Amino acid sequence: MKGIEKEEKPRIGVIQFAMEPNVVLCKEGLLQALAEHGYLDKKNIEIIYKNANADFAMINSIIQDFIRREVDIIVPLSTPCTQSALQFASGKKDITVVFSYIFDPYRIGAARTPDDHPANITGVACFPPIEEMLDLIKEMFPERKKVGIVWNSSEANSESVLVKVRAHASRIGLEILEATVASPAEVLEASRSLALKGAQVFLNSGDNTLNVSFDSFTKVAWDHGIPVFSVDSEFVEQGALVSLGPDYRQTGYESGEYLAQVLDGKNPEDIPIGQTEKVLLHINLDNARKLGFRIDEKIINRADKIIDSENAPAVPGKTRETKPTDKKKLALFLFSENFPINLCADGVQDELRESGILEKHNIEVDRMNAQNEFHMAQSVAQDIIRQKYDYIVTLATPALQVTANANKKIPHIFGCVTDPYRMGVAKNSHNHLPNITGVASLQPVELTVEVMRELFPDAKKIGIIWNPSEACSETCTYKAREAARKYGFDLLEANVTSSSEVIEALRMLLSRDIDLFLTSGDNTVNAAVESIGEILKKKKIPYFTSTPTDIERGSFISIGSDYYEVGRETARMAIRVIEGKKPKNIPINDYAPEKIHVNLSLAELYGIEIPEKLLKKAEEVKR
C-alpha cells in the first residue's frame, strides 16, 4: 500500500457515529494538524463529512458510498464506523483508512499490535483511564459502592472497557450494575432500571449509544440525586459531576498528523497504531452544589479544568471557568433522534456556529432529546422552563406542541414542522402566538402521489401508517387522501401510537394487498424506516417517503424538504430573535426546499424504467 500519489485534490471521507461534543473536539484537532501541514479543505484537499446519526445500517451505507465515490482516505470517527470501514475497505489498494476516536482497535481486528496491522489501515486510539476513574469514584464517594453503567453490548469499544471495569471494581470493592441497550431510545428506561436497582453512582464509560442520549442518563441521575462520572470530558457541561478521560482534541490532532503523513506519500503500513496518552480531569462545582455534594480541595487541585460560577479564586496553573452573569442559554429541543430531525439539528448548529452569534452574545447551546416519547417531551419542556432558558428552538411538531402549551414567555423558534397552523400555534404566517415564530415545511404529498401514478399506472392501493396524535401527520394524511382521490388510488390507513406498533400495522396493510407504500411527515413511523424498507423490499412493494435521504435507508423514491437547509433557515430565524427582534414581529416562514432522491437499484427490482425527466430533477440517484 502506498501513500497518496495524485495530481488532483485528494478526497477524504470523514464519518462520525453521531453528533457528540467530543467528536467535535476530535475533528477540530484533526483539521488543525492538517492546516499546520499545509492541507486545507477546498484548497488542496476535499473533505466530505457524513453523520450516521447513531444508525448502524446508515454507517455501512456511508462507507459504501465513500468507496463508490472513490475517496482516497476514509477517516472513521468511533469504533462502529471503524468496524464498517474494515469490512468494506480492508485490503483495497486504492483506499487508505486512518481511524480516530476509537478505544480498542485490537479487539475489532484493526491491528494485532501497533506495528502489525493491515497494509492500508492505521490510526490513533484513545482508550480511557477507566481503572483510574473507578479509583477516583471510590476516593470521592467511599460510602457509595454501587456503580451503574448503561452500554450497548454490540459496541466492541464498550465491551473492552467493561472487561476492565468488572475486574478492577472487584479488586477495589465496588459493585457494577449494568443495563444494556440497542439504541439511544432505550437509554432512558435503562437508566431508570439502574436507579431502581440502587445504583449510587452513574458512570458513562464512553459508549457511543449512551453518548447520543446522555441527557436522558443525567436526567434520571439528577432526579435521584446520583452523581454522574464520565470518561468524556465535554459532558461536565451537560450534567456530569466529574470527567476523567482522553484529551479528544489531542486524539484528533494526532490523527491529523497521521493523515498528513499519508497525504505526503508515506505508506500507511509503515505508520504504527498510536494511543493518545494525555488525560484530562474536569470538575463541575456548579453541579456539585446543585446536588449537595462537597468535593475535597485536594481533588479540585488535581483538576485540569473547573467549572465554577461563584468565581472562587482560581487554582494556580489550572483552568477555572467562571460563567459570567450575562451568560445566556439556548435549548435545542429535538423530539427524537430520527434522521430528518438530526439533519435539521445539524443545520441549526452549523448556522449558529458559523454566524458567530453564539460567541457574540455569549450563548451556550444545550441539545435535548425526548427519545420519541410524548411524556418525555413534556418533561423536557417543563425542565427548559424551570431552568429559565433564554431561547428555545424546537425541532418536530410534538416538541413544538408540548413547549407551546407550557411556555408563554420565553422566545421560541420552531423548525422541522409540517403545519403549525392546524395545531393552533398560528392562524396564518403573520398571526401567531406572540413568543413563537419559526419555519413551516409542508411536504409535497400531492407531487409524490402524482409520481406514484406516473410510474405505476396499474397500481390501485396505497398503504400509509400514521400517528393521529401528531398534527403534522394529520395534515399529510389529509393531503394524501385528496391526492389519492385525484389520481385514482384507494388509500388504506393504519394508526399507531408508538414506533413499536409500526411493523404490526404494516403487516396488516400487507394482508390487504397494497401495491405501494407511503410515509410522509410522521415522526413515529420515521423511527422505523429501515425496518419498513427491508420488509417492503422482500415483498417488492415500492416505498415512497418525504425525507430525501431515506433512499439510504430503504425507500425507492423520496420527495421532500432538505431538512439540513430547513435547519439552517430555522437558525437564521433564531438569530433575528437573538439580535433583538420580537418573535411576534417575525412572520412564520413557509420554507420547504424540495429535493428528489431516487434508488435505481430498486427500480430494477420492480422491473420499471424511471423517466429521464424525473432523473434529471433528482438531486441524487443511487445506483
Residue 325 banded pLDDT, cuts 50, 70, 90: very low
What is the domain extent for residue 461? Answer: 445-562+594-622
Tell whether 438 is covered by a domain.
yes
**315 and 196 share one domain:** yes
Looking at the domain assignment, is residue 1 inside a domain? no
61-76: average pLDDT: 90
Query: Quick one: 76 and 201 in the same domain?
Result: no
Q: What is the pLDDT of residues 573-588, one digit of tens each?
A: 999 999 999 999 999 9
Rounded alpha-carbon distances, angstroms, from residue 394 to 225, 227, 347, 439: 28, 28, 13, 11
Name the pLDDT band for 3 (thresholds 50, 70, 90). low
**161 and 230 both lie in a single domain:** yes
Q: Are residues 389 and 484 located together in one domain of the fold?
A: no
Q: Are residues 333 and 400 in the same domain?
A: yes
In a domain, 6, yes or no: no
Name the E strands within 534-593. Answer: 543-545, 557-561, 589-590
Separation CA 211–CA 205 (nearest Å): 9
In a domain, 95, yes or no: yes
Lowest mean pLDDT among 243-252, 431-440, 607-616: 607-616
Reported pTM: 0.57
DSSP 202: E
Same domain, 464 and 525: yes
292 and 333 part of one domain: no
Over residues 425-440, the mean pLDDT reads: 94
In angstroms, rounded to a whole number, what is the distance separating the alpha carbons of residues 604 and 580?
A: 54
Could you tell me if residue 352 is inside a domain?
A: yes
My answer on whether 507 and 537 are in the same domain is: yes
Q: What is the dihedral of CA 247, 252, 253, 255, to 10 degrees?
A: 130
402 falls within a domain = yes
Rounded Cα–Cα distance for residues 192 and 261 (Å):
47
Indicate whether 395 and 527 sit together in one domain: no
3, part of any domain: no
Within-domain flag for 2: no
- Which CATH number goes with the domain that contains 171? 3.40.50.2300
Q: Are residues 205 and 299 in the same domain?
A: yes
For 486, the enclosing helix (H) or strand (E) is helix 471-486
pLDDT per residue as tens digits for the range 100-121: 999 999 999 999 999 999 999 9
Tally of domains in the chain: 4
SS3 of residue 271 by DSSP: coil
- Same domain, residue pair 425 and 545: no
Quick check: 480 and 464 in contact, CB under 8 A?
yes
For position 85, what pLDDT does the model report?
94
Lowest mean pLDDT across 137-146, 289-298, 371-380: 371-380
The reply to whether 605 and 531 lie within a common domain is yes
Q: d(Cα 308, Cα 289) in Å, to the nearest integer?
A: 10
Q: What is residue 311's predicted lDDT score, i.e. its pLDDT?
A: 58
Please, are residues 126 and 101 in contact by the beta-carbon 8 Å criterion?
yes
Quote the CA–CA distance of 404 and 74 in Å, as a whole number.
43
